[in-house]
Chains A and B, each alone.
Chain A
Amino acid sequence: MKYQELEKSKEYKYGFVTDIESIKAPKGLNENVIKFISKIKKEPKWMLDWRLKAFNRLKNVKEPNWQKPKYPKINYQDLYYYSAPKSAQDKPKSLDEVDPKLIETYKKLGIPLNEQEKLAGVAVDAVFDSVSVATTFKDKLTEKGIIFCPISEAIQKHPDLVKKYLGSVIPITDHYFATLNSAVFTDGSFVYIPEGVRCPMELSTYFRINSSETGQFERTLIIADKGSYVSYLEGCTAPMRDENQLHAANVELIALDDAEIKYSTVQNWYPGDEEGKGGIYNFVTKRGACRGKNSKISWTQVETGSAITWKYPSCILQGDNSVGEFYSIAITNNHQKADTGTKMIHLGKNTKSKIISKGISAGNADNTYRGLVDISKRALNSRNFTQCDSLLMGNKCGAHTVPYIKNKNASSIVEHEATTSKINEDQLYYCNQRGLNQEEAVGLIVNGFCKEVLQQLPMEFAVEAQKLVGISLEGSVG
């Protein structure tokens, strides 16, 4: 009885599909589809050319296959590369004009857009499938000269910025999925913070995959000009599906002199069922360039969803004295697999990086931390500190740590600490004896294990993330 209840409670909370007519590009990946996407987005020619260049490149590159989690071969000709809610054709000017069904969906997700404007102080560039449907707080940001809009809009309105920075951190030649994204990306966020401006609110986007068999290719570009600061939050959930859905986003961050970007993610895509059927393939390329001196980029991620998570949010520390940080919680349960970590490339002098990774594995899941710390010859007096902790629950799951460390000069210091532990039965007993049930106890202990990372999240995210940590592991003990 209890077991069944547990099973029930584990069922994916956000498993529903909104019935909205979609416009779709025909199935398959070819020049015409790319032209279709570019046309529907009303893109200038240079953008189409850029996409086609990536597409041509794609023909000659192969998918990487060095990762630990293997997946069945993806038939790229069998996917839709564009789908949009129909109502987005006539773009809503305000929330009142948004399709009520979309609003309903957001409500189920716990994102009451109309309340958010008033309450949270969070500007939301909401992406439903591939098209942005509502953007709030624009006026307040415009006042400060901040640009926060869908990237498709930025391509039209701010071509100089896009031309200058798009692909400058993740070149279109980078690797298979990055190249694929460059060819077919549909939408995403664009942020520009002008010199000396501190963004007055957390910028936030909610992504959601909805249409069946639609690969989702987001593209996000964030530029923090000299002396500016921005904190960006990204959170996502996806409806229940049987087929695997590919999600291959590219996120590029650029921090100029004395600028700081804080990028936080809570990822809760559909992980597949208890048998490992279905679930999202989350193959994301995230990279930030600390281009200016004294700049800082900080990644925080809470990865609890997806059948396979495969991503390495990285920092290229070009500017002298620049700082890169990576805080990660990766939770895998049932048949989920994660191969995640970071790359810290030290190029400038006195550059510093910090990596805190917490991997939690339960059920039959497999969790790998893979990270590169590369300190170049001229990156004198650089420092890295890495801490990788793994927590195992049960005896069918796996945890792996694969650190690559290259230090090419004698004045730099690299530290690496790693631990692996099992969740302690006595700790659970102690919590039970204080009236906590198994789930509450696991949630408490795991949240304690992840504390250093959770602390990095902005307040409004931290609460949600703490709950998510508990929910993700429900039924994994006892």
Chain B
Amino acid sequence: MLEIKNLQASINNKTILKGLNLTIKPGELHAIMGPNGSGKSTLANVLSGKSGYEISGDVNYEGKSLKKVSVEERAQRGIFLAFQYPLEIPGVNTNNFLKTSLNSIRKSKGKKELDTLTFLKLVKEKASELGINEKILSRQLNVGFSGGEKKKNEILQMKILDPNLSILDETDSGLDIDALKTIASGVNSSRDSKKSFLVITHYQRLLEYIKPDFVHVLSNGKIIKTGCGELAEELEKTGYQKLN
């Protein structure tokens, strides 16, 4: 699914990622943990194709290099990023945004665009699965949403767009326990043998609800340790400091 080899990324002449290697196979869920400033969000941004980074090394997705592939094309090919800070877009109805997004992706795959009725039915179904109040979907995108609502909305978008590779950038931070469970159930219900996940988090808390296949510790732009689920628990007790 995803193969990262010796990835280096710098921004404003500051090197953030310093030779990162990671392979994610179809159906796997990888968690990336690490202290502040270790490069977790940079990794998410670089994978999504955000501009402004100087990049070297290889990133292959579904067997093809992502070099020179635009943000929207990556999205259309099935890479989804749940933002750490979802953006507010005033005046744009959330449902309308979701529909435009879904149809852009369908169009790029040569699929027929969904009409409004079919779309609303789909949204309704997915929202109720996640226990999201439909009312927020008729509001302006993320405008006046609480922190939890914004993050839930990201997961709803993930469910609707049905990506192959989902990257969750600290989706759990700042959430209460109920919202955390919602997010986790959104991820768990999406898992199957073909879909892959990269879950970036600060805390082990989320991993109590989402069981990762692998846990990686990112520190100073490199993965310094890889293990299974227990590594997260261990980190919770000992902290990152000991690993360095």
Contact = CB atoms under 8 A, between A and B. Distances in A.
A440 B104 contact: yes
B201 interface: no
B72 A435 contact: yes
Contacts of B51: 429
B48 A447 contact: no
Interface string A447-475: 11111100000000000000000000000
Interface string B193-237: 000000000000000000000000000000000000000000000
B90 A436 contact: no
B124 interface: no
B98 to A, nearest CB: 8
Nearest to B78: A435
A435 B89 contact: no
B92 interface: yes
A435 B50 CA distance: 13
A426 B101 contact: no
A444 B81 contact: no
Given A430-B83, A444-B97, A448-B140, A435 B104 contact: yes
B86 interface: yes
B63 interface: no
B92 A444 contact: yes
A451 B87 contact: no
B116 interface: no
B157 interface: yes
A77 interface: no
Interface residues of A, number: 22
B111 to A, nearest CB: 12
B36 interface: no
B101 A436 contact: yes
A116 interface: no
Contacts of A435: 72, 75-76, 101-102, 104-105, 108, 161
B65 interface: no
Contacts of A431: 89, 101
B91 A449 contact: yes
A420 interface: no
Contacts of B91: 447-452
Contacts of B72: 432-433, 435-438
B124 to A, nearest CB: 20
Contacts of B108: 435
B157 A448 contact: no
Given A430-B86, A435-B108, A445 B92 contact: yes
Contact of B81 (A424, A433, A436): A433
A59 interface: no
Contact of A433 (B71, B90, B102): B71
Chain B, interface size category, equals 20 to 34
Contacts, number: 70
A432 B49 CA distance: 10
B100 interface: yes
Contacts of A449: 90-91
Interface string B60-91: 00000000001110011000110100110111
A89 interface: no
Given A429-B50, A433-B48, A437-B104, A444 B89 contact: yes
Interface string A154-185: 00000000000000000000000000000000
Contacts of B90: 448-449
Interface string B132-166: 00000000110000000000000001000100000
Contacts of A437: 70, 72, 104
Contact of A432 (B71, B83, B102, B141): B71
Nearest to B77: A435
A435 B210 CA distance: 27
Interface in B166-204: none
A73 interface: no
B87 A426 contact: yes
Contact of A448 (B75, B86, B92): B92
Given A429-B50, A430-B83, A444-B97, A436 B89 contact: no
B71 A429 contact: yes
A67 interface: no
Contacts of A440: 100, 104
A93 interface: no
Interface in A392-447: 424, 426-427, 429-438, 440, 444-445, 447
**Most central of A444, A447, A449 by chain B CB within 10 Å:** A444
A129 B208 CA distance: 73
**Most central of B75, B76, B83, B89 by chain A CB within 10 Å:** B89
25 contacts: A426-B87, A429-B50, A429-B71, A430-B86, A430-B89, A433-B75, A433-B83, A434-B75, A434-B97, A434-B104, A434-B157, A435-B72, A435-B75, A435-B101, A436-B72, A436-B100, A437-B72, A437-B104, A438-B72, A444-B92, A444-B100, A447-B92, A448-B89, A449-B90, A452-B91
List 3 tightest A-B contacts by C-beta distance, closest first.
Answer: A448-B91, A448-B92, A432-B71
